A and B are shown apart, each in its own frame.
Chain A
């Protein structure tokens, strides 16, 4: 909510900053508990079953030092936290690089994928939802509703496989995976190559997002179509499209923005599965690797980055209310 005067804005930002810190503490603590309680022995994963058998005790001790499995979890967490506060997210145990550089590397890929899916699903779902709601109970509505219900209940990984099968294997329109062509020097990769590789994963990621946002938008539009002010506008002879333009779209914008920003977390979650199926080197895939490899610094780093990202999305949604909703805008300005 903006517009409460300078003092108000400072307070508001401060409050949200504190909230963010609490979220980071909670997320890191929970993730750490989960990974330290997981039955996976990172050393075993690292050297393999055979390696474990052939290892002499000194090497094992060294590896224990490296993975920190001989230190108590609480001490490990506090070590990590004190480094984190100083801006050091530690070393990734698997990638053998600083966590921050692994994340930087993957983040751009994931961002591109998510941004594309987010914008695409947002626009398509909004249009479908409004059409479906305005033409409630017509064949168009039934078509859109059934499409949304079916895709909403289809698992993402399965959809991803179907999409690969149809578009990559049968039609050969798009590559089956990865973010760049195979066997091409990094310097030779063009932006078109990147986009070309993004299409299928982004499409897959959009599908489920479209379903839920469409259904929610539809509900909102149906509510609005039943409002007194729509009835009144109709009684004054407003035709359907002017009415939709002047009342429905205006009133559905606010909930649509909420939905759109709320879907960021869903898309983030979906990206883990999609990146896995498409062998797409993004944060989601790195999170899976870190999780099953016992790479706690990397997993914590990714968890925190994701939390900050989702938090930022919701924060932006709140700010946008202040700009759009006259109740917040005007009352804020007056106090």
Chain B
């Protein structure tokens, strides 16, 4: 891994599987994330970009210990140099590692916003901290007395940000924080994350919006069929030639400013029996070696899972 030293978060070879019962009582495992690598350094905003419904939220859920009970995760996860296991997560979540969820449905509809931001604490210090945050994010203090259904979309987002900042976190995990927002509005929302990262913290942004990610992120991890096919610095996205993986190149060409080209084929489903490269069925440069295991290799300051990448 690059930036192994001094990273806030490193995730190596994360695999997540659901166990489910098929016809009869045969228990089978469904692998939804397979060999995911990503790391977030200090002052770094890393975007995990993948198409909607591809299971990237599970990465966030793993880091916060809220995976469903029939779901198992394995792999090496470290937070500020220490192994992030169940106990550690229970200690850190809500304090050093916080989630900024995507929408107002993550707030209890029958509870006023204030106590929710304070996570049910009502001591003087918490009240002051909450008011300060509301001031900082340009929310009126009376907002605390509102119910979630009374918030506008923008207010809800700032409320969720305030909730995240109640304890001084080191890492923010933002799971699709800007659904349905206009690019300009989304950029505005992103500025808060950028500011937070610039203060020496880390942000892991999980999104389907590559364009938006390119605006704010330092590094892009491209998520495809349950794995990260490439991790690249944002500057590499200036041209398709500096990118490494054929899928990333296809994504690049699909951007409106780069020709808006569609790419034939669809992503394989989780549970499809995948040996070798998950992109092999669609890849135009596929070779014999693509049917075997594809390790993650560092190339030119990035990571790629492709034999042919140079």
Contact = CB atoms under 8 A, between A and B. Distances in A.
A and B: interacting chains: yes
Contact of A236 (B61, B98, B105, B147): B98
Interface in A218-255: 227-229, 231-238, 242, 246-247, 250-251, 254
A19 interface: no
A326 B106 contact: no
B107 A229 contact: yes
A254 B109 CA distance: 12
A232 B93 CA distance: 11
A228 B106 contact: yes
A26 B95 CA distance: 61
B111 A237 contact: no
A238 B118 CA distance: 12
Nearest to A232: B106
Interface string B90-133: 10011100110101011111110000000110000000000000
A326 B94 contact: no
A326 B109 CA distance: 9
B95 A237 contact: yes
Contact of B93 (A236, A247, A327): A236
Given A228-B101, A250-B111, A237 B94 contact: yes
Given A229-B105, A246-B120, A251 B98 contact: no
B111 A247 contact: yes
B150 interface: yes
A182 to B, nearest CB: 52
A327 B111 CA distance: 11
Contact of A330 (B61, B119, B150): B150
A228 B116 CA distance: 14
A291 to B, nearest CB: 45
B90 A237 contact: yes
B99 A232 contact: yes
Contact of B110 (A231, A237, A242, A326): A326
B119 A238 contact: yes
A325 interface: yes
A327 B108 contact: no
Contacts of A250: 108, 110-111
A247 B106 CA distance: 12
Given A236-B119, A242-B120, A327 B147 contact: yes
Interface string B160-186: 000100000000000000000000000
Interface residues of B, number: 25
Interface band, chain A: 20 to 34
Contacts of A327: 109, 147, 149
A322 B163 CA distance: 29
- Looking at A232, A234, A250, A254, the one whose CB has the most chain B CB atoms below 10 A away is A232
A246 B111 contact: yes
Interface secondary structure of A, over-half rule: helix
A242 B65 CA distance: 18
Contacts of B95: 237
Contacts of B98: 235-236
Nearest to B68: A226
Nearest to B91: A237
Given A232-B99, A235-B66, A251 B120 contact: no
B64 interface: yes
A152 to B, nearest CB: 26
A125 to B, nearest CB: 21
Nearest to A325: B110
A237 B93 contact: yes
A238 B111 CA distance: 16
Given A237-B95, A327-B149, A229 B66 contact: no
A236 to B, nearest CB: 4
A228 B176 CA distance: 14
Nearest to A247: B108
Given A237-B95, A327-B147, A228 B105 contact: yes
Contact of B101 (A232, A246, A326): A232
Nearest to B69: A137
16 contacts: A227-B105, A229-B108, A231-B66, A232-B106, A234-B64, A234-B66, A235-B94, A235-B98, A236-B163, A238-B120, A242-B120, A247-B111, A250-B111, A326-B147, A326-B149, A327-B109
Given A250-B108, A251-B110, 17 more contacts: A228-B101, A229-B107, A231-B61, A235-B93, A236-B93, A236-B94, A236-B98, A236-B99, A237-B93, A237-B94, A237-B95, A246-B108, A246-B111, A247-B108, A251-B108, A254-B110, A326-B147
Interface of B: 61, 64-66, 90, 93-95, 98-99, 101, 103, 105-111, 119-120, 147, 149-150, 163
Closest 8 CB pairs of A and B: A237-B94, A236-B94, A232-B106, A235-B64, A235-B99, A229-B108, A228-B105, A228-B106
Interface of A: 227-229, 231-238, 242, 246-247, 250-251, 254, 324-327, 330
